[in-house]
């Protein structure tokens, strides 16, 4: 089963385009992990950027409701473009405001 769940903040406004007459939204979420250095006890914040896409009415709704800095929770499936390309895009299946 290919199912991922993320909660993060949008890095920019979602970009809405039309692909063969179908609505498509691209956006990036940033999530943070906190690690404590054993030697110093200092906390470090590590950012992870998650490239996402949505289609059809989901894309339109995301474009209308969310903007840069909005908190979003998604359920998505991971997809890479080819076996030689290690870049992963997460196709959104469900989303909400993360609240």
Write down the pLDDT at residue 82.
80
**Other CB atoms within 10 Å distance of the CB of residue 20:** 5
Angle formed at CA 88 by CA 87 and CA 93, multiple of 5 degrees: 160
Write down the pLDDT at residue 81.
78
Write down the pLDDT at residue 98.
72
Q: What is the CATH number of the domain that holds 84?
A: 2.40.50.140
User: Could you tell me which of 61, 56, 50, 57 has the C-alpha nearest to residue 9?
Assistant: 50
Rounded CA separation 32/9 (Å): 10
Task: Specify the number of domains making up the chain.
Answer: 1
pLDDT in tens, the chain (99 residues): 789 999 999 999 999 999 999 999 999 999 999 999 888 888 999 999 999 999 999 999 999 999 999 999 999 999 987 888 888 999 999 999 877
Domain that holds residue 59: 4-96
Quote the distance between the C-alpha of residue 19 and its chain's center. 20
Within the chain, how many helices (H) and strands (E) appear? Answer: 1, 6
């Amino acid at each position: 089963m290919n199912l991922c769940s993320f909660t993060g903040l949008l890095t920019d406004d979602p970009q809405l385009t039309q692909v063969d007459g179908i609505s498509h939204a691209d956006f990036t979420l940033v999530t943070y992990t906190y690690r404590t250095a054993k030697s110093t006890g200092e906390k470090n914040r590590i950012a992870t950027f998650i490239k996402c896409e949505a289609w059809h009415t989901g894309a339109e709704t995301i474009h209308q409701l969310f903007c840069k800095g909005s908190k979003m929770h998604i359920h998505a499936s991971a997809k890479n473009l080819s076996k030689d390309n290690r870049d992963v895009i997460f196709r959104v299946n469900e989303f909400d405001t993360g609240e």
